[in-house]
Structure 1
Amino acid sequence: MVRPVDITRSPDAPTDEIRSLPQRGSGVLQWLGTFVLKIMRWRIDNTLPSIPKAVVIVAPHTSNWDFVLGLAAALALDVDAHWIGKHTIFRWPFGRLMRWLGGIPVNRQATSGFVEQVVERFNQSDQLVLGIAPEGTRRKVQRWKSGFYHIAAGAKIPIVCAYLDYQSRVVGLGLNLMPTGNFETDLAVIQDFYAPYKGKRSSD
């Protein structure tokens, strides 16, 4: 059975509990994210989970605009979200910029595997939100990659489902679940959650 995580924000909940997600703490960036979404005519379903760590999967992923919308939403919500990149793009002169944008370098040729490196990063962090596109490509795929699941299971943290619905122009957070250890069962629940949402190009 999938174990849900309560993401309801009570008006009486303490502020520190509500904001247990890592923050950037920049009013300017928060304004910028809000402005970008406004001019693109998108809105946010801003129910935030009161958890310090999570693997946030973002789907459906069909366009390069998905990254822009996801980053703008994270800035607007003042969430310090991260993403994974090949370690070579973090070298000079772009390394500092990549890290400032939330990038986490991973060496795919290292002795320890990709999943192990990311799990270790979670274990070393008090707060960490990592965004991953589980489809792994903008093209339509029959099967999602399983890396996001094994990271969450290894770090013992919840998977949070973020969606980009181009039909309603809404970006938001929905289903949260703890991995049960049965990937196929949990994936079926996750993909069922995403079924109503439409990407920019649904026929890719």
Structure 2
Amino acid sequence: MKLLSKFIFKTILGWKLVGSFPKNEKKYVLIGAPHTSWKDFMIGVLVRFATGEKLNFVGKKSLFKPPFGFIFKWLGGSPVNRQKSTNLVDAIINVFNENDEFRLAISPEGTRQYVEKWKTGFYYIAKGANVPIVMFSFDFGNKQVELSEPYYLTDDMQADFNHFYQFYKDIKGAKPSLFNNKNLL
């Protein structure tokens, strides 16, 4: 799977990977942006398999039931029980706390549509789980995926979001008009 994914990503699609996943971090939140097309998920899956990095995502518990639930688990999914009295951020923090290794891939925009401001759940998840954030870009303008070094959050949310802005400010998504890279918070 690794060789086939590399071949498709690099040779057939002509993309490249800039940077690498952190080797010394067993837990982090990976934010992928801009998320403007269904193609982003496919690029992300190819990178995951090409690098061999174990990445996770969360989904509602019902997605993980037969007959197709095994596919979501195979792709790194973890079910979250929303029926309990915890909110989604707390439920995901619990997933981090229950696992020795967990790398959550999430879109800070929360949708493929244009948004005025990013959702902040990823930020509070990283804060609550005490894990860094790694930024992952889908740069269709340069046909590359770029990864940042782990970023450890400060006590200044605006400064943290300014750091994210600097990373994503020149990135062109599959549908550039759907990415607001001027006002993340």
Fold in common (TM above 0.5):
yes
Aligned-partner Cα distance in 1 for 2:176–2:7: 27
Q: Spell out, residue by residue over 1:119-178, the C-alpha distance to the aligned partner (whole angstroms, 9 max, x if none).
A: 111112221111000001111211000111111111111000011111110012025311
Residue 35 (structure 1) aligned with residue 7 (structure 2): yes
TM score, norm. by length of structure 2: 0.90
Is the CA contact 1:59–1:134 (under 8 Å) kept in the aligned structure 2?
yes
Deviations 1:15-67, CA, capped at 9 Å, x for gaps: xxxxxxxxxxxxxx211221220211111114231211110000011100000
Letter in 1 for 2:30: V
Residue type at the aligned position of 2:173 = G
Off by >4 Å, runs of 4+ in structure 1: none
How far the C-alpha of 1:109 sits from its partner, in A, is 3.4
> Structure 2 residue aligned with 1:201, among 134, 157, 175?
175
What is the alpha-carbon root mean square deviation over aligned residues?
1.3
Given residue 169 of structure 1, which amino acid in structure 2 is its aligned partner?
A: K
Aligned pairs for 1:77-92 within 5 A? 77-92=51-66
| 1:30 partner letter | K
The residue type equivalent to 2:15 in the other structure is W
The within-5 A match list for 1:1-204 is 29-37=1-9, 38-50=11-23, 51-204=25-178
Decide whether the 8 Å contact of 1:119 with 1:154 is kept in 2: yes
8 Å contact from structure 2 (residues 34, 171) kept in 1:
yes
Once the two structures are aligned, what percentage of the paired residues are identical? Answer: 38
User: Is contact 1:175-1:193 (8 Å) kept?
Assistant: no
Distance 2:147 2:165 in 1: 14
1:136 and 1:98, CA in 2 relative to 1: closer, same or farther beyond 3 A? Answer: same
Structure 1 segments unaligned to the other structure (5+ residues): 1-28
Partners of 2:5 and 2:108 lie apart in 1 by 24
